[in-house]
């Protein structure tokens, strides 16, 4: 059974966790709150397995240990979906380095806020780290906004999960959920 790792998979990406589980995969979900894990596991339509990988991704050593343990049980990870707050800047790389080390190809979908649509406004050096890892196929998924009746708003959780699932299927190097132009219309 394929093994998928989703960081932040009990929040706005909950439906992405359920999408993989409904396709019969082992889904290791990184988050902290036991109540949110319970809600996810009790959701209907799961044919695969949700593995609650309880870790604070700010604690890099704990994060590493938990992922290595999950791989020892469910096998090497083939897909990563990572939504990680900027409070843990190294966590996306740490995850990539661990999954890279098992010598199988890994698709890594990095979910990023709208500001990443403008590379000049964001330090993009971190990308080099992913590109150096030979087994990592790095994909950027940028969360944009919606314009309706000349007004803009942020995406809902359902729109974010659905958009990320579209990004997984399309498998483009860069995929934007919603839009990031015109930037002046950002909510």
Ligand X SMILES: NC(=O)c1ccc[n+]([C@@H]2O[C@H](COP(=O)([O-])OP(=O)(O)OC[C@H]3O[C@@H](n4cnc5c(N)ncnc54)[C@H](OP(=O)(O)O)[C@@H]3O)[C@@H](O)[C@H]2O)c1
Footprint of ligand X on this chain (CB under 6 A)? 8-13, 30-33, 36, 56-58, 83, 85, 113-114, 143-145, 154-155, 157, 160
Q: 98 vs 143, which CB is nearer to ligand X? A: 143
* Cα-based angle 75, 79, 82 (whole degrees, multiple of 5): 115
Q: 36 vs 107, which CB is nearer to ligand X? A: 36
Q: 3 vs 179, which CB is nearer to ligand X? A: 179
3-state helix, strand, coil in the chain (%, to 5): 40, 25, 35
Cα gap 87→85, rounded to integer Å? 5
- Cβ–Cβ under 8 Å, residues 13 and 111: yes
Q: 15 vs 79, which CB is nearer to ligand X? A: 15
Cα gap 34→178, rounded to integer Å? 31
Write down the least CB distance from residue 132 to ligand X, Å.
25
Q: 104 vs 185, which CB is nearer to ligand X? A: 185
- Cβ–Cβ under 8 Å, residues 171 and 141: no
Cα gap 104→98, rounded to integer Å? 11
Write down the least CB distance from residue 52 to ligand X, Å.
10
Please, where are the H alpha helices in 75-111? 91-100
What is the Cα Rg of the chain in Å? 16
């Amino acid at each position: 059974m394929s093994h998928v790792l989703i960081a932040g998979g009990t929040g706005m990406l909950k439906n992405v966790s359920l999408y993989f589980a409904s396709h019969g995969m082992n889904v290791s979900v990184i988050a902290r709150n036991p109540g949110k894990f319970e809600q996810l596991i009790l959701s209907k339509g799961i044919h695969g397995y949700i593995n609650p990988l309880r870790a604070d991704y700010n604690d890099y050593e704990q994060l590493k240990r938990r992922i290595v343990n999950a791989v020892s049980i469910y096998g090497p990870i083939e897909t990563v979906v990572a939504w990680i707050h900027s409070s843990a800047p190294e966590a996306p790389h740490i995850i990539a380095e661990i999954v890279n080390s098992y010598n199988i190809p890994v698709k890594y979908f990095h979910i990023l806020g709208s500001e990443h649509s403008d590379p000049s406004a964001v330090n993009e050096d971190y990308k080099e780290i992913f590109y150096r890892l030979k087994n990592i196929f790095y994909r950027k998924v940028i969360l944009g906004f919606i314009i309706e009746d000349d007004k803009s708003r942020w995406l809902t959780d359902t729109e974010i999960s659905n958009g990320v699932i579209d990004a997984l299927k399309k498998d483009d190097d860069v995929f934007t959920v919603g839009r990031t132009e015109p930037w002046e219309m950002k909510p």
